[in-house]
Amino acid sequence: MDLLDTYISEVGKHLPAKQRPDIEAEIRSAITDMLEDKSQKAGSPVDEAMTLDVLQAYGEPEKVASTYLPEQYVIGPRLFSAFKTTLQIILPILGLLALIGFAISFSRLELNAANIIELIIESLAGYLVSVVQTLGGLVVVFYILQIAAPNLETKSTQWDARSLLKISPPDRIFPSGPVWEIAANMAAIVIFNFFPQIIGLAYRSGSGWVTTPILSETFYRYLPALNLLWVMAILLNVFLLRRGQWQTGTRWLSLGLRLVSVGILAAMVAGPSLIALNAEALSQILQKQTAETLTGLLEWIVRLNLIIILITSLVDAVKQALRLFAGVKPAVIVSLK
Amino acid sequence: MDTQAQYDNVMLELRRGVIVLAVLSQLEHEQYGYSLMKSLIEQGLNVDQGTLYPLLRRLESQGLLKSQWKVEADRPRRYYSISDQGQSLLPRLKLEWENLVKTLAGLIR
CA dihedral for A47, A53, A56, A58, sign (positive or negative): negative
| pLDDT tier at B22, thresholds 50, 70, 90 | very high
Cβ–Cβ contact A60 with B under 8 A: no
Å between B94 CA and nearest CA of chain A: 23
**H-only helix segments in A43-76:** 48-58, 61-66
Query: CB distance A29–B49 less than 8 Å?
Result: no
Per-residue pLDDT at A335: 47
> Over 60: is that where the pLDDT of A26 sits?
yes
Per-residue pLDDT at A311: 86
Per-residue pLDDT at A334: 46
Winning range, highest mean pLDDT, from A110-119, A239-248, B2-11, B51-60? B51-60
pLDDT tens per residue across span A90-110: 888 788 778 877 777 777 777
Q: Which residues contact B7 (CB under 8 A, 6 or more apart)?
A: none
* C-alpha to C-alpha distance for A264 and A225, rounded to whole angstroms: 8
Q: Are A203 and A310 in contact (CB under 8 A)?
A: no
Q: Which helix (H) or strand (E) holds A170?
A: none
What average pLDDT does the structure give for chain B? Answer: 92
* C-alpha to C-alpha distance for B80 and B71, rounded to whole angstroms: 14
**CA nearest to A64 within chain B:** B50
**DSSP letters of A78-108?**
HHHHHHHHHHHHHHHHHHHHHHHHHHHHHHT
Query: In chain B, what residues touch A63 (CB-CB under 8 Å)?
Result: 50
Look up the pTM and report it: 0.51
Å between B59 CA and nearest CA of chain A: 12
